[in-house]
Amino acid sequence: MALLAPPIPSQLPEFAQHYLSRTKQLYIDGKFVDAQSGKTFPVFNPATGEILAEVAEGDVADINLAVAAARRAFESKAWSGLPPSQRARLIDKLADKLEERLEDFALLESLDNGKPLAVARVADVPMSVDNLRYMAGWATKILGDSIPIAGDFHAYTRREPIGVVGQIIPWNFPLLMAAWKLGPALAAGCTIVLKPAEQTPLSALLLAEIAAEVGFPPGVLNVVPGYGETAGAALAEHPDVDKVAFTGSTEVGKIIVRAAAGNLKKVTLELGGKSPNIIFADADVAQATQGAAFGIFFNMGQCCTAGSRLFVERSVFDEVTHGIAAAAKAMNVGHGLDARTDIGPLVSDEQLARVTGYIESGIAEGARTLSGGARVGDRGYFVEPTVIVDAKPHMKIMREEIFGPVVAATPFDDPNEILGAANDTVYGLAAGVWTKDVSKAHKVAAALRAGTVWVNCYNVFDPALPFGGFKQSGWGREMSHNALECYTETKSVVVKL
Ligand code: NAI
Ligand code: MG
Q: Say which CATH number the domain at 287 has.
A: 3.40.309.10
Cα(69)–Cα(198) distance, rounded to whole angstroms? 22
467: in domain = no
Judged by its nearest atom, the ligand closest to the C-alpha of residue 224 is 1
- What is the CA(304)–ligand 1 centre distance, in A? 11
Strands 452-455 and 430-434 turn out to be parallel
Residue nearest atom 13 of ligand 1, based on CA coordinates: 228
Q: What are the residue ranges of helices labelled H in 400-457?
A: 418-422, 438-447
Ligand 1 pocket check for 427: Cβ under 6 Å:
no
Closest CA to 158 of 496, 494, 491: 491
Q: What is the DSSP letter of 175?
A: H
> Are the beta carbons of 205 and 225 closer than 8 angstroms?
yes
Please classify residue 272 by burial: count the beta carbons closer than 10 Å to its beta carbon, then call 0-12 exposed, 13-18 middle and 19+ buried.
Answer: buried
Same domain, yes or no: 248 and 321: no
Question: Does residue 197 sit in the same domain as residue 328?
Answer: no
Cβ 247 under 6 angstroms from ligand 1:
yes
Handedness of CA 42, 109, 288, 445 (dihedral sign): positive
Q: Total structural domains in the chain? A: 2
Ligand nearest to the CA of 232: 1
Active site residue: 304, 313, 478, 486, which one?
304
Nearest alpha carbon, ligand 1 atom 27: 249
Nearest CA to ligand 1 atom 29: 249
68, 74, 77, 82 alpha-carbon torsion, rounded to 10°:
130
Q: Is 269 in the pocket of ligand 1 (CB under 6 A)?
A: no
Domain co-membership, 230 together with 314: no
Q: What's the one-letter identity of residue 162?
A: I
In a domain, 396, yes or no: yes
Note down the domain range covering 399.
Answer: 276-462
* Residue from 41, 59, 168, 473 to probe ligand 1 pocket by mutation (most atoms less than 8 Å from CB): 168
Q: What is each CA distance from 156 to 147, 196, 218, in whole angstroms?
A: 5, 38, 33
3-state SS record for 271-290: CCCCCEEEECCCCCHHHHHH
* Phi, psi dihedrals of residue 213, rounded to the nearest 5°: -65, -40
Are residue 391 and residue 313 in the same domain, yes or no?
A: yes
> Catalytic one among 237, 270, 401, 478?
270
Same domain, 416 and 478: no
**Residue 176: closest CA among 462, 455, 484:** 462
Q: Whose CA is nearest to atom 42 of ligand 1?
A: 248
Tens digit of each residue's pLDDT, the chain (497 residues): 667 766 666 688 899 999 999 889 999 999 999 999 999 999 999 999 999 999 999 999 999 999 999 999 999 999 999 999 999 999 999 999 999 999 999 999 999 999 999 999 999 999 999 999 999 999 999 999 999 999 999 999 999 999 999 999 999 999 999 999 999 999 999 999 999 999 999 999 999 999 999 999 999 999 999 999 999 999 999 999 999 999 999 999 999 999 999 999 999 999 999 999 999 999 999 999 999 999 999 999 999 999 999 999 999 999 999 999 999 999 999 999 999 999 999 999 999 999 999 999 999 999 999 999 999 999 999 999 999 999 999 999 999 999 999 999 999 999 888 999 999 999 999 999 999 999 999 999 999 999 999 999 999 999 999 999 999 999 999 999 999 999 999 999 999 99
Question: CB under 8 Å to 450, separation ≥6 — which residues?
Answer: 275, 276, 428, 429, 430, 431, 469, 470, 473
Residue 102 maps to a domain: yes
Verify that 211 and 313 share a domain, yes or no.
Answer: no
Phi first, then psi: give them for residue 248, nearest 5 degrees: 165, -150
Name the amino acid, one letter, at 256.
Answer: I
234: CA distance to ligand 2 center in Å?
15
Residue 409, C-beta contacts closer than 8 angstroms, at least 6 positions apart: 310, 311, 312, 317, 320, 321, 324, 370, 387, 388, 389, 391
Name the closest ligand to CA 347: 1
The CA 454 to ligand 1 mean position distance, Å, reads: 25
**2 lies in some domain:** no
Shared domain for 256 and 393, answered yes or no, is no
Question: Does 3 map to a domain?
Answer: no
Residue 157's SS3 state is strand
Strands 243-247 and 266-270 come out as parallel
Q: Is 478 a catalytic residue?
A: no
Query: Is this prediction's pTM over 0.95?
Result: yes
The length of the chain is 497
Q: Are residues 325 and 267 in the same domain?
A: no
Three-state SS at 245: strand
Residue 192 lies in a domain: yes
**Has residue 468 been placed in a domain?**
no
400/489 same-domain check:
no
Q: Please tell me the distance from the alpha carbon of residue 467 to that of residue 464, in angstroms, as a whole number.
A: 9
**333 and 192 both lie in a single domain:** no
| Residue nearest (by alpha carbon) to ligand 1 atom 11 | 228
Domain assignment present for residue 153? The answer is yes
Same domain flag for 300 and 260? no
Is 304 labeled as catalytic in the residue annotation? yes
User: Are 480 and 390 in a shared domain?
Assistant: no
Alpha helix stretches (DSSP H) within 370-493: 396-399, 418-422, 438-447, 480-485
The CATH number given to whatever domain includes residue 190 is 3.40.605.10
Residue 212 has φ and ψ, to the nearest 5°, of -65, -40
